[in-house]
A and B are shown apart, each in its own frame.
Chain A
């Protein structure tokens, strides 16, 4: 595994880019480094961050799961509907667990379909993307729910860290940021130090070798989709908590930012690569780019162009690092280089 040797380098590049961008924006606008702005940047990162970590887990096993926004809205709307119907006074923990379970179930369906149908996961999850969303919107409902359970409203008022800003105002770090950071930490530890985590990388790096090592490849892949679904549903639920509103038509359209964040963070589409830290940095880069273009004097209309260019450059980075651009390698064994990339 080239992981420890290769990836700090890629994450280093992302970190340097992020720092340069922050310095550039910070010199133009001093407010950038205020607690208020940093806290709000982190808050803006949580939802796409949770999606991105889930998306990344599937990338690690060599799959692509694009159904996350659908799972997010189903988890969000389903949880709120269930709570209002059966237990409006439910404590927050129960709501959170219900959302996680809905996501796990939908993720499990994804995983089973991908491993059983033996079709490209992009196409399978494109199918479930519209299946879940269509099911929710046609059979369950399209209306906004403004009267969300009280536990959600109260939870939304919680801050974990209150700082006093320069002008004396109190600035709080929203609790959803803490949940996000905790999940990042857990996923980091699981991927790095547990057998399960190493199996995910093994399956993504080389499924045949993983199978011969005695790993149940299908089970590990299914589990990755299941975890991704859980995180996506939690993300959807937290977005409803933050808005105090369950809107079944929200979230769609944020897919690209999420995929861009994971890829920019160094996850390879062929699987077996990347780290949660990289994804976290990628998310921050995307969020700061989105928030800061205006500060840098770039019109908002250019936002998509910027993300597109950033994405295309980021995809090219690992290829460049491996010398993939040299003509000789192109001719002789492009495909082989990419698969055996673990030893490059």
Chain B
């Protein structure tokens, strides 16, 4: 896989950037930035957004996108929270192991179902991924609003052990994120599924004519994305003990930013999961760093500004690398779809 090898220079860059940021912040704020408390808090915070970034990255590798990740995560936590509040007595009641396990399975199934629905729209009905997931995002947010009536469900403590717990000094959510990244990485780089996925992302027509079961691939990819989003939703439920339909509205942009920063080509076919993991950590370091340095209010807006700038700078640097993949027509349209379709027309 020559495509993969060429990305390694990006991984080195990302690694250097991470070390540089940690080094600088460690020197500027040695007592706070490198304290175990801060490191743990950074790991905890990056796990939810990290899982959502993986969910976007896997769809982006096929040249698609999933904008419904955050809506899926929220609808999952809302369904689970509703289920738990119905089965567990309020205040002081503890969920039994069986109920917690049931809630976990239901949650994962909700995410799986949301993903399958996206896959159905894209693979069977031929919707463009952007529009399909934009529509399902609205739909899932709507379902979440109907279930909660727009209120926050709180006092759901069944997943608190996972959300607040840690093993070997590392927060459990971070371990789950890293495990998910590891499994996804192995599947994408060592299994046939991954090979097909990269092939499909690099050249849809070639993949189709080489006899890949296109429908199954798209269904699987969006189902994986849905399940990863559901895990993010469950972790969030565990960390905050609450579920809300508006939670993390800015995460969609952030997850796309992280994927692109991590070297996933927005037109598909190139990029590695390890890059995404590094990008998550870099953004988290930066975000915490900005908070430490600009402690006065408004640093959220500065962050928003910084995210946008970073995304554009990364696109500018990576621009040539991306365009090499979609070379066929110079005047290509801007949507990933058109790029590939254009290359299909011009042999």
Contact = CB atoms under 8 A, between A and B. Distances in A.
A142 B298 contact: yes
A139 B308 CA distance: 15
B316 A217 contact: no
Contact of B134 (A204, A259, A270): A259
Contact of A119 (B137, B205, B304, B319): B319
Interface string A210-252: 1100000100010000000000000000000000000000000
A308 B125 contact: no
A78 interface: no
A260 B138 contact: yes
A118 interface: yes
Closest 4 A-B residue pairs measured CB to CB? A134-B305, A131-B308, A304-B142, A308-B139
Given A124-B312, A319-B125, A339 B341 contact: yes
A52 B206 CA distance: 37
B286 interface: no
6 contacts: A126-B256, A134-B308, A301-B142, A304-B142, A307-B142, A324-B126
B127 interface: yes
What is the predominant secondary structure among interface residues of chain B facing chain A? Answer: helix
Interface string A128-170: 1111111101110010000000000000000000000000000
Contacts of B307: 127, 130, 134
Interface in B251-300: 253, 256-257, 260, 266-267, 298
Contacts of B329: 207-208
Interface string A244-274: 0000000000001001100100000111000
B142 A311 contact: no
Nearest to A127: B311
B304 A120 contact: no
A54 interface: no
Contact of B128 (A139, A221, A269, A301): A269
Given A303-B142, A312-B121, A128 B312 contact: yes
A82 interface: no
Given A137-B298, A324-B126, A127 B308 contact: yes
A134 B306 contact: yes
Given A120-B335, A130-B307, A208-B346, A334 B126 contact: yes
A204 B267 CA distance: 18
A315 B138 contact: no
Given A117-B319, A119-B322, A270-B335, A316 B142 contact: no
A281 interface: no
Given A120-B334, A130-B305, A315-B131, 11 more contacts: A118-B322, A132-B308, A138-B298, A207-B332, A207-B333, A304-B141, A305-B146, A309-B139, A319-B126, A324-B126, A339-B345
A137 B301 contact: yes
A21 to B, nearest CB: 18
A260 B335 CA distance: 18
| Interface size class of chain A, counting residues whose CB lies under 8 Å from the partner chain | 35 or more
A316 B128 CA distance: 10
Contacts of B139: 304-305, 308-309, 312
B87 interface: no
Nearest to B311: A127
A127 B254 CA distance: 10
A338 B341 contact: yes
Contacts of A259: 134
Q: Which one of A120, A130, A134, A135 has the greatest number of beta carbons of chain B within 10 Å?
A: A120
B169 interface: no
A131 B257 CA distance: 12
A301 B125 contact: no
B10 interface: no
Interface string A278-320: 0000000000000000000001011111111101100110010
B66 interface: no
Nearest to A312: B135
A63 interface: yes
